[in-house]
Amino acid sequence: MHNKRPKHLALHHIKLPLPGLVSILHRISGLLLFFALPLLLLMLQYSLRSIETYTQLMSALAHPLPKLLMLGLLWAFLHHFCAGLRYLAIDLRYISNLAQARHSSQMVIVASLVLTAILGVELW
């Protein structure tokens, strides 16, 4: 048997379907949130310790780069939340066929981006 399959996959040439992309983004956003948790808890501690540390934290977060990082974390949270609701619906068998899975993947992407834009404008 002569096998013509490649030995090494070129991952940048593989086109994932949208549900696969949502799955990978769900994992990436969860990892981002996990690694950002110590920083977020430290920020919470500084905001609650005293008025001086609160004002220092607010002045540090007033710069564009920390705002952009917080916006990225906001997207990660919202995407992880929306995709988690999608997976819950799949587990409860509300989503049972391929068309519904593709549609719910589109809804997750749109909802997470729209909610990030709305909340980002409010918080910027």
Percent of the chain clearing pLDDT 90 (strictly above)? 85
Q: What is the mean pLDDT of the chain?
A: 92
Q: What pLDDT does 8 receive?
A: 67
Which region, left, alpha or beta, applies to residue 17 given φ > 0 means left and ψ of -120 to 50 means alpha?
beta
Q: What pLDDT does 2 receive?
A: 67
pTM for this one? 0.86
Pair 33, 76: CB distance under 8 Å:
yes
Q: What pLDDT does 15 receive?
A: 81
Write down the domain spans for the chain. Answer: 17-123
Instruction: Indicate the length of the chain as a whole number.
Output: 124
CATH 1.20.1300.10 fits 17-123, yes or no: yes
Q: What is the pLDDT of residues 25-78, one digit of tens each?
A: 999 999 999 999 999 999 999 999 999 999 999 999 999 999 999 999 999 999
